[in-house]
Structure 1
Amino acid sequence: MTSSELFYESFKRCRIDQEFLESFLADFCKHNPRFSERFENIGLEQQTKMLKASIILIHNSVGLPSVRNSVRKLGKRHKDLGLNISEQELNEWFQSLLNTVKKYDPHYDAQVEQAWTETFDVGLKIMKKSVWSEPKCVTK
């Protein structure tokens, strides 16, 4: 089975439903208390909708170059909002995702973890670059 196939099978087993998303948020907040502070005025339902949208967006960037621009915009929006997201926080976000996948996928193993890592690599790199890129000077 290819890495892509492993990912999709695992993704289907996880179902990425409300329970999965709430578990993911709980894990992420446990490892990153700043997340709770940043989103304290946003309800749980809205947080999980945003979380699911970002998972799907970052996931889709691997195979759809047209989606990569949306990931760049997401990173820029995080930057423009002054959220001051560190590389460590993005890494923790992904680790919390893996922790949750491990909890919900009964077939989770090193190969499944590698498949998720490979699938999210492109999108996470775009996010990191968008969040920390310096504005470009335009010369005439």
Structure 2
Amino acid sequence: MNDTDLVFQSYGRCCNRDEFFIDFYDHFMSSSEAIKQRFVNTDMAAQRHLLRNGVLQLILTARGMPDRKLRALGESHNRSNYNIQPEWYPLWLDALLKTVRRHDPEYTRDLERAWKEVLTPGINLIREAY
């Protein structure tokens, strides 16, 4: 099985529990006071839904889908829109991996490596739109 298949299946296991998305934002917001402040007036239920779809888009793009939606995410997150700082993306990935480690019962170090390999090109595409 290739890395994209491993990550796709891992994400499916993680999505079986709504706590996955709650825990992700707990980890992500605790990584930086500036990030925490970005979510002060946010509808977190809606935000968790956006996260669920965003991670899926990263995985699907890695599996060969067109990158149109990731480019749109890059545009919405750039300095002219949400102004998501480029240095926050590694914190986002770290929070996601920490959450996967906690919620995927089949987690291994090799699976974590696969997650990094699969998501990094899409994350870089989004970040480069800054």
Q: TM-score band, normalised by the shorter chain?
A: 0.7 to 0.9
The residue number in structure 2 matching 1:134 is none
Structure 2 SS opposite 1:87: coil
SS of equivalent residue, structure 1 residue 61: helix
* Match of residue 33 from structure 1: 33
Q: Write out aligned runs for 1:52-131 (5 A).
A: 52-66=52-66, 68-79=67-78, 80-83=80-83, 85-131=84-130
Q: 2:11 maps to which residue? A: 11
Question: What is the Cα-based RMSD across aligned positions, in Å?
Answer: 1.7
Q: Distance in 1 between matches of 2:85 and 2:16?
A: 25
Q: Deviations over 1:7-53 (max 9, x none)?
A: 23322221264211000000000002222322322212111112112
TM-superposed deviation, 1:61: 1.6
Matches of 2:45 and 2:15, distance apart in 1: 17
Structure 2 contact 8–59 (Cα < 8 Å) conserved: no
Give the structure 2 partner of residue 135 of structure 1: none
8 Å contact from structure 1 (residues 16, 52) kept in 2: no
Matches within 5 A, 1:45-56: 45-56=45-56
Displacement of 1:82 = 4.5
Question: For the Cα contact (< 8 Å) 1:75–1:127, is it kept in 2?
Answer: yes
Amino acid paired to 2:119: F
Structure 1: where are the runs of 5+ without partners?
132-140
Aligned length: 129
Judge which range, 32-41 or 90-99, deviates more: 32-41
Q: SS where residue 63 of structure 2 aligns?
A: coil
Letter in 1 for 2:29: C
User: Aligned equivalents of 1:2 and 1:35: distance in 2?
Assistant: 33
Question: Which is worse superposed, 102-111 or 33-42?
Answer: 33-42
Counting aligned pairs with the same residue, the percent is 25
| Gaps in structure 2 of 5+ consecutive residues | none
8 Å CA contact retained: 1:102, 1:108: yes
TM-score of the pair, normalised by structure 1 = 0.82
Contact 2:4–2:63 under 8 Å retained in 1:
no
Larger radius of gyration, structure 1 or 2?
1
Contact conserved, 2:24 with 2:96, CA < 8 A, in 1? yes
